[in-house]
Structure formats: C-alpha cells, structure tokens
Amino acid sequence: MLLYFVYNARIAPDTMSATAPSAEFQFIAHLPGWGLSFPINDENWGGGLPSVQPEEGHTVWGAVFKVPEADIASIHGIEDGERRVAIETEAMDRMGKRHQVITHVAAEESSSTYPPSADYVRLMMWGSRHWSLPAGWIAGLDEHLDNAS
C-alpha cells in the first residue's frame, strides 16, 4: 500500500473511485513550501491543468489515500495522460505529522501558465469541499475559476 497525496481532479470522490476503486481516504494534508500552478495546456479539458512545484511561503492542500499496488498503475496512467509524473515527497497532516507520499507533478518544467480548465477546477473544488479542506484553499481555487477558460 502507498500513500497518495491528491490535489487535482482525483480529489473528487467519484473521480478517485473510478480511477482506483480500492483507494481508501486516510486524512487531509498539505505540502508546505509548494505552490499550485497550471502549466499544462490540455485541449481535452479546454484549458490549463494543475501541477505543484516548490514555492517558498506557499502550501498546497489535498487528500491522502491509501492505494493498493494494483490500483497505483491506473492512477499513474491517468496522470501520464494529463502529462504528470509521480514523485515522492512529504505531506503534513493537520496534527503536524509528516508522511511520505507520492503525488504527481508536470512532466516538463515550464514557466508558462495557462488559464485553468473551468471543468477541472470545479472537480478540484468539489473534492476539496467534500473532504473539508481549509476554506482559504477553496477560496483560492474559486479565484482560479474566475480566470478559467
């Protein structure tokens, strides 16, 4: 079993269960010192897709799932289709405990950003609300929606 930190569309429960049916929600957490951007232009989604990158003074909130090895390949396949690759990093839960997790980042480093896909950001917001992520994080996603394509 692996711990998977998800901040993107897979944070929405229906999206996660369709991708990794055996994944089990564990807790919410954040990546301190990381920021959210939209460096992946995707015609299928009609706009930019998110990634995270080290960014001092910022944090990215998400949900951590326990994922069996059998389901991780499916997650990697979807993420690969959205041009992200897996990395290992540390996520911090609300109690301040650090956990080794995998997450996905843009496959290619880019200083470009694109207007976010409105449909994609809506999935991120729905999942963030469902898992009760901090209101400030959800408000930030809502601001991205204002700039969406």
Does 95 or 110 have the greater pLDDT score?
Answer: 95
Model pTM above 0.85: yes
Please give the pLDDT value at position 146. 84
pLDDT tens digits for range 78-108: 999 999 999 999 999 999 999 999 999 998 8
Grade residue 147 by pLDDT with cuts at 50, 70 and 90. confident
Cβ–Cβ under 8 Å, residues 65 and 24? yes
Q: Looking at the domain 2-146, which fold is it?
A: Hypothetical upf0131 protein ytfp (3.10.490)
Question: What is the per-residue burial (b if ≥16 Cβ within 10 Å, else e) of 3-26?
Answer: bbbbbbbbbbeebbeebbeebeeb
Residue 111 has pLDDT above 80, yes or no: no
pLDDT tens digits for range 13-72: 999 999 999 999 999 999 999 999 999 999 999 999 999 999 999 999 999 999 999 899
